[in-house]
Amino acid sequence: MGDPTSGDGQPPDDTAADGPTLTPKGEARRRALLDGVLTVLEAGGPSAVTHRAVARAAGVPVSAATYYFAGRDDLLRAALRHATTDWARSFDRLERASLRDLAETLVRYAVTERGAARAQYELLFTAMRDESLREDAELWYSSLEHVLSRAGVPPDRVDVAALAVDGLIVRMLWRGEPGTAAATERVLRQVVGPLS
Amino acid sequence: MGDPTSGDGQPPDDTAADGPTLTPKGEARRRALLDGVLTVLEAGGPSAVTHRAVARAAGVPVSAATYYFAGRDDLLRAALRHATTDWARSFDRLERASLRDLAETLVRYAVTERGAARAQYELLFTAMRDESLREDAELWYSSLEHVLSRAGVPPDRVDVAALAVDGLIVRMLWRGEPGTAAATERVLRQVVGPLS
DNA sequence: CGTTTTCTGGTACATTTGTCCCATTCGTGC
DNA sequence: GCACGAATGGGACAAATGTACCAGAAAACG
């Protein structure tokens, strides 16, 4: 630790949060690793997420995984954060959302990209056990509530509607059904209640 | 395979389904192992479910795990089946259910025994990837729909209500809230819709 | 009683895993 | 050009894992 005769193999800084300040180009590799986690998760479940499997999926050597992420925990942590913020952003992008827009996004999320969505939900469940991931998970749920309220759901119904949409997502992940935006919108209208 | 000079160490038969025909007393050990899976799952997540950890949690030697279950897969399979049928039964026991009864069961399920319930849901998600577990998972969801319909939810609303209750359960698992039967019943009434 | 089957618990071993280490290459400043 | 830190990739190794084996205890059954 006090003898830097040569490169000591440690990602320079990257303290905590969201600062990509110190990785100009290898940031792509980081992202590839994170996507690799989802790929592996999708194919083999949580217990298949190993340094080696993730590295193989990302097409990088094993040591890259330990270079960018201190340990398996950091890897999973970062993958959850990556996946949830990604999707939360895509919800937030629906500024003045209609139920139709929301339905389209849901179908894209839970049917078209089913594998990734399943993986994210699996991570979400994992986060139940880890207090330090609570925050990221809440982000997901709160952005769901926000998009519903922007879609015209009255305030005193938003949380109940969010429950139902969450359940709807889980069902879509299970059965791939409803599989079209039109059908999803129909269910959404039932779910959201008399008003809209 | 053709030289039984002594005991060959294999659980006699137990073909498929639910026949405890061949294990008079060591059945308790089987159950202990299955509970051990939930315990480990609760504490350390799916990737912590190893033969050794489960055996330690159940207070039995490692070889017992391999004696009663051919491999890790069978162990997980059986644990899911065990957990879901257990809870499905407890729903089915509510013959002429009121929403209040259902609320009480939900609170007992998702708050009091939160750890076990989380573990079961984690297994449920695992089952998404394994076609052969589909059946057991469907049992869970269909018994949820049945109890709702017995509670007076009109037929054309049952599936939407089931969605919402599923979402409600997930939220209870996350936040431990609503945490009382009364509060849960109130949410249920909103969720189930105008009729009841 | 004896015998046969179920069950026990300890051990052994090949494989996979996380993680560290180091020599080499790449990229960007002077 | 050169030098220096960031990034790479391959190898090594201790620890943990799945699983098989086997000698003996317990129980079931005649």
Per residue in B115-142, pLDDT (tens digit) is 889 999 998 888 888 888 888 889 998 9
What's the pLDDT at A10?
A: 65
Query: CA geometry: angle at B21 spanning B20 and B22, to 5°?
Result: 95
pLDDT over 80 (residue A13): no
Least confident among A13-27, A91-105, A171-185, B40-54 = A13-27
Nearest by CB to residue B170, choosing from A47, A49, A166, is A166
Indicate the average pLDDT of chain A.
85
Nearest nucleotide, C1' to the C-alpha of A55?
A: D9
Mean pLDDT within A45-56? 94
- The predicted model scores a pTM of 0.87
Separation between Cα atoms, residue B37 and residue B149, nearest integer Å: 32
What's the pLDDT at A195?
A: 54
pLDDT band at A134 (very low <50, low <70, confident <90, very high): confident
Token pair listed for A101: 């827009």
Please state whether strand C lies within 7 Å of residue B29 at its CB atom.
yes
Per residue in A15-34, pLDDT (tens digit) is 444 333 455 677 889 999 99
The answer to whether A160 contacts B47, with C-beta atoms less than 8 Å apart, is no
Separation between Cα atoms, residue B21 and residue A112, nearest integer Å: 46
pLDDT band at A193 (very low <50, low <70, confident <90, very high): low
What's the pLDDT at B165?
A: 95
Q: Which residues of B are less than 8 Å from A174 in CB distance?
A: 128, 137, 141
Token pair listed for A37: 């986690």
Separation between Cα atoms, residue A138 and residue B103, nearest integer Å: 25
Q: Which nucleotides of C are covered by protein (CB under 7 A)?
A: 5-12, 16-25, 27-28
Distances (CA, A) of B16 to A146, B45, B50: 47, 27, 23
Nearest nucleotide, C1' to the C-alpha of A63?
A: D9
Separation between Cα atoms, residue B17 and residue B8, nearest integer Å: 23
Pairs of residues, one from chain A and one from chain B, whose beta carbons lie less than 8 Å apart: 83
What's the pLDDT at B183?
A: 96
Q: Which residues of B are less than 8 Å from A140 in CB distance?
A: none
- Residue B134 in 3-state DSSP? helix
Least confident among A36-40, B16-20, B91-95, B121-125 = B16-20
What's the pLDDT at B24?
A: 67
Please state whether strand C lies within 7 Å of residue A158 at its CB atom.
no
> What is the number of other CB atoms lying within 10 angstroms of the CB of residue B124?
20
The answer to whether A187 contacts B126, with C-beta atoms less than 8 Å apart, is no
Nearest by CB to residue B164, choosing from A49, A122, A167, is A167
Q: How many angstroms separate the CA of residue B24 from the nearest CA in chain A?
A: 34
Residue A101 amino acid letter: D
- Residue B84 in 3-state DSSP? helix
Mean pLDDT within A72-91? 90
Residue B135 amino acid letter: E
Q: Which residues of B are less than 8 Å from A194 in CB distance?
A: 194
Nearest by CB to residue A167, choosing from B49, B163, B187, is B163
Q: How many angstroms separate the CA of residue B15 from the nearest CA in chain A?
A: 27
Nearest nucleotide, C1' to the C-alpha of A74?
A: C18
Q: Which residues of B are less than 8 Å from A170 in CB distance?
A: 166-167, 170
Burial (Cβ within 10 Å: 0-12, 13-18, ≥19) of residue B184: buried
**Residues B102 and B147: beta-carbon distance below 8 Å:** yes
pLDDT over 70 (residue A188): yes
Mean pLDDT within A48-75? 93
Q: Which residues of B are less than 8 Å from A184 in CB distance?
A: none
For residue A16, is it left (φ>0), alpha (ψ between -120 and 50) or beta? left
Per residue in B143-158, pLDDT (tens digit) is 999 999 999 899 988 9
What's the pLDDT at B4?
A: 40
Per residue in A69-79, pLDDT (tens digit) is 988 888 999 99
Separation between Cα atoms, residue A127 and residue A135, nearest integer Å: 9
Residues with CB under 7 A from strand D: A 4, 6-7, 9, 11-12, 22-26, 29, 60-64, 67-68; B 6-7, 9, 24-25, 48, 50-53, 62-63, 65-66, 70-72
Token pair listed for B125: 């998600």
Mean pLDDT within B73-101? 90
> What is the number of other CB atoms lying within 10 angstroms of the CB of residue B18?
8
Bigger pLDDT: B114 or B15? Answer: B114
CA dihedral of A157, A163, A164, A166, whole degrees rounded to 10? 140
- Backbone Cα Rg of chain B: 19
pLDDT band at A95 (very low <50, low <70, confident <90, very high): confident
The answer to whether A129 contacts B45, with C-beta atoms less than 8 Å apart, is yes
What's the pLDDT at A9?
A: 60
Per residue in B47-85, pLDDT (tens digit) is 999 999 999 999 999 999 999 998 888 899 999 999 999
Bigger pLDDT: A34 or B3? Answer: A34
Pick the residue of B80, B166, B172 with the most A CBs within 10 A to test the interface with A by mutation.
B166
Separation between Cα atoms, residue B36 and residue A187, nearest integer Å: 39
Mean pLDDT within B158-177? 92
